[in-house]
Every structure is written in structure tokens, then in C-alpha cells.
Amino acid sequence: MKIKRVEHIAIAVDSIRQSLELMRDTFGLDLEYEEQIGQTKLAMLPVGQTYIELLEGLGPESGVTQWIKENGTGLFHICFEVDDIEGAIAELKAKNVKLQSDTWKNGHAGSKIVFLDPSATGNCVIELAELPEGH
């Protein structure tokens, strides 16, 4: 598996609007795009070749809402970009690394994503993402 870069660092927030103000006013970061995936709203702010991803749950069933309820707002996960998500999954399975699911699912910007189980990573949530060509 080839890790290309840290694709994004995700932060669970109560309000994307308030967090965008902080990121803009304090750090000069601008919003590139927003997206909704299921019960989660996200906002992507570029920082060089990496993004800060703000995540807001849109109801009690959202994983982000549940995360905040249990852990509070703050760092949610780190995402590594890979060339080949299916190859990465196969390699991790061969190494007996526990994943949250056996297959990838659709993620932000049309990406293919999979999460490693935090029990396999010292309780750090790690996402792998294969981005579509040209992104």
C-alpha cells in the first residue's frame, strides 16, 4: 500500500458555520466546498496539499453526533490518501489489521473510503481514501 499524503484531518464540530468563522478569522483558511453524506455535513478547507475537514452531525443517528456525545468536539480522524483502496484493504486484511468494514464505501468528493478499527490503531481513527482521477 502506498500512502500518498495526509488527505485530511477531520474535526467533529457542533456547528460548521461557527467553525468556519474561526478557521477563516483566526487562520485565514477559506472554504473550498461543502457536502452532505447521509446524516453528516462536511466542509473542506485546503491547507497546502491537505485539508481540514469539519464534520457536523445532522441528527441523533449521525455517527458524528454520537461521537460528540461520547467524546466531545475535536479531532475525529486522520485520512491517508492511497492509490488503490481495494489493494490497501487486501493488504491490511493479510496483515490481520481489523477494519470497520470488509469493503470500501462512498466518501467525500466521490472517493472510495474505508476506516480502520480504532482497536487496531491505538484508539486513533484512521481513514483511507482513494480519490477519483483528477481530484
Which residues of the chain register pLDDT less than 50? Answer: none
pLDDT at 99 (0 to 100) = 97
Does 105 reside within a domain? yes
Indicate the number of domains in the chain.
Answer: 1
- For residue 10, give the CATH number of its domain: 3.10.180.10
pLDDT at 13 (0 to 100) = 98
pLDDT at 9 (0 to 100) = 98
Enter the pTM of the model. 0.92
CB under 8 Å to 53, separation ≥6 — which residues? 8, 9, 10, 11, 42, 43, 44, 45, 79, 108
Does 51 reside within a domain? yes
Range of the domain at 75: 3-130
* DSSP notation for 2-44: -EEEEEEEEEE-S-HHHHHHHHHHHH-----EEEEETTEEEEE
pLDDT at 133 (0 to 100) = 85
Does 135 reside within a domain? no
Does 19 reside within a domain? yes
Which pLDDT tens digit goes with each residue over 102-128?
A: 999 999 999 999 999 999 998 899 999
- The radius of gyration computed from the CA coordinates of the chain, to the nearest angstrom, equals 15
Does 102 reside within a domain? yes
